[in-house]
A and B are shown apart, each in its own frame.
Chain A
Amino acid sequence: MDSGDASGYSAGVDDDYESLLSTTDAELLKRAWRNEKAAPEILQFEAALVQRSREQIQLMEETVEEFSKNGVDPLTVSLYQMDLDRTLFLLRSYLRTRLQKIENYAFHIQKTTDLWNRLSKQEQNFAERCVDDMEQHLDQSVLSKLPQGFKSHLKQSSLSLADDMVPEPQLDQYVICRSKRFLGAFQLDDSGEEPVNIEANDLYALPYKSIKPLVESGQIDLV
């Protein structure tokens, strides 16, 4: 997992390309799962990766079935099955983590184009249903009984300028992260704080907001 970090050179494009080639989908899926679990907001859906993982899982399921039909020894079959189960777990947990975030922040995601575009088609459908149900529920149980001007599920009162009743993920939340290679001095935010030196394979607690671009570009992993 932590191989080939000895070189402390700056992160070049070739480097990235190489590490991409040498990383298996299983590794990538694990990384996507970890990042998704640790990030406060929903990340870009890994469409291609999920697609490939699905295909691999299906292929493996067929292989296992064939094995047990052809009387391959039970040990081998069970090992393949275990490997399959592990991958299935990762994929399911990845998708579930996302669904949970969508549930929590449905209103916010729906009205933020950038976030909305991070969802897969199915997730968008899910989010829409969530929003509808939530709206209906809030309306039936509380909002319809409130005086005029307090009936919105987005605003505290009609006087509010912004949608101040929509839960949003806290992007200034701190996360624990690790880089595979030396990233050098890194400016946290514009507060004039001293930059942080990010060394390879060390853990750092940093505000999610400030390392967000690095997470998105895959230079830093959340742990």
Chain B
Amino acid sequence: MGSQSDPHAFAFSAAELEFLAEDETVEIVPNMRLEPLHLISGDFGPFRPQIATQVPLWLAVALKKRGKCTIRPPEWMSVEKLTQVLEAERDSEKFQSLPFHYVEISRLLFDHAREDIPDIYMVRSLIEDIKDVRFHKIGTGLEIISKEVTYALRLKNLSAMEANIVRPFVTQALQTFHKLNTSEAIPESGSIPSRQRQPVNQRDKRVLKGR
């Protein structure tokens, strides 16, 4: 019943997460002159050749596509840093601290600024590995939830994409635990539990929702 609980209505799509990630700032080095931009999302520039400046990722990608700048990959995207993260990620049960949108940011840069990233193949495979290790941890982490009854779950250092992927399952699971537990505590509530158990499926709900 977990998976059909309309994940689309309440979660974000991958495109929407990318949209959010595009607002993160990166450093670019323009190769042209441009007056400052006074945008709704903020003021950026002025742009001068060879002078680095901070802009949101979408702006960086737009300029990059037109060949107007090079993008400086963020510090955490270096082979050295990523190797450290990967090692720590493997050694510890905890999630290492990475930017909230690390999946989306790295993906966007791989797609649009490959020549600006030193050792791109290495960086890419490191990020893939990190992603794999983390997803594996999420999997084992979910098993832990089922063993201990919890009402609140702290998802320390989980990234946007990861949180979004586990959302349908985790939220459903916790909610179900919570319900089972409260109905255990109040057995006299009679016939209500069986009716209330219905998942949030919109169509079923009209007919079956209790209360």
User: Which A positions have Cβ atoms within 8 angstroms of B?
Assistant: 1-2, 24-26, 30, 34, 37-38, 40, 56-57, 60, 75-76, 78-80, 82-84, 86-87, 89, 93, 100, 104, 162, 164-168, 170, 172-176, 188-189, 191, 193, 196, 202-207, 223
Contact = CB atoms under 8 A, between A and B. Distances in A.
B187 interface: no
A31 B151 CA distance: 25
B1 interface: no
Top 9 A-B residue pairs of the complex, sorted by shortest distance between their CB atoms: A174-B171, A203-B155, A83-B39, A205-B153, A196-B152, A26-B41, A174-B174, A167-B205, A87-B40
Contact of A167 (B11, B12, B100, B209): B209
Contacts of B24: 1
B174 A205 contact: yes
A203 B156 contact: yes
A78 B154 CA distance: 42
A208 to B, nearest CB: 9
Contacts of B174: 174, 205, 207
B175 A26 contact: no
Given A75-B68, A207-B178, A223-B160, A82 B151 contact: no
B171 A89 contact: no
B22 to A, nearest CB: 8
Contact of B62 (A26, A40, A82, A191): A82
Contacts of B182: 191
Contacts of B139: none
Contacts of B178: 172, 174, 207
Nearest to B5: A173
Contacts of B100: 2
30 contacts: A26-B40, A34-B12, A34-B20, A38-B10, A40-B10, A57-B40, A60-B40, A75-B68, A76-B37, A78-B62, A79-B39, A83-B41, A83-B59, A84-B40, A86-B19, A86-B40, A86-B58, A93-B16, A165-B206, A167-B209, A170-B175, A173-B200, A174-B178, A196-B151, A196-B154, A203-B154, A204-B152, A206-B152, A207-B151, A223-B163
A204 B155 CA distance: 5
Contact of B175 (A100, A172, A196): A172
Contact of A172 (B23, B152, B179): B179
A76 to B, nearest CB: 7
Contacts of B9: 100
Interface in B110-128: none
B155 A79 contact: no
Given A174-B178, A202-B157, 17 more contacts: A2-B100, A30-B20, A37-B10, A75-B34, A75-B66, A79-B39, A86-B40, A104-B202, A164-B209, A167-B206, A167-B209, A172-B175, A173-B171, A176-B167, A196-B151, A196-B152, A206-B152
B211 interface: yes
Q: Which of B11, B40, B160, B172 has the most CB of A within 10 A?
A: B40
Contacts of A204: 152-155
B171 A175 contact: yes
A24 B42 CA distance: 8
B74 interface: no
Interface in B57-105: 58-59, 62-63, 66, 68, 100
Nearest to B200: A170
A189 B10 CA distance: 23
A104 B209 CA distance: 14
Contacts of B62: 78-79, 82
A1 B175 contact: no
Contacts of A78: 62
Given A75-B66, A89-B19, A191-B182, A176 B163 contact: yes
A76 B63 CA distance: 10
Nearest to A97: B9
Nearest to A189: B151
Contacts of A165: 206-207, 209
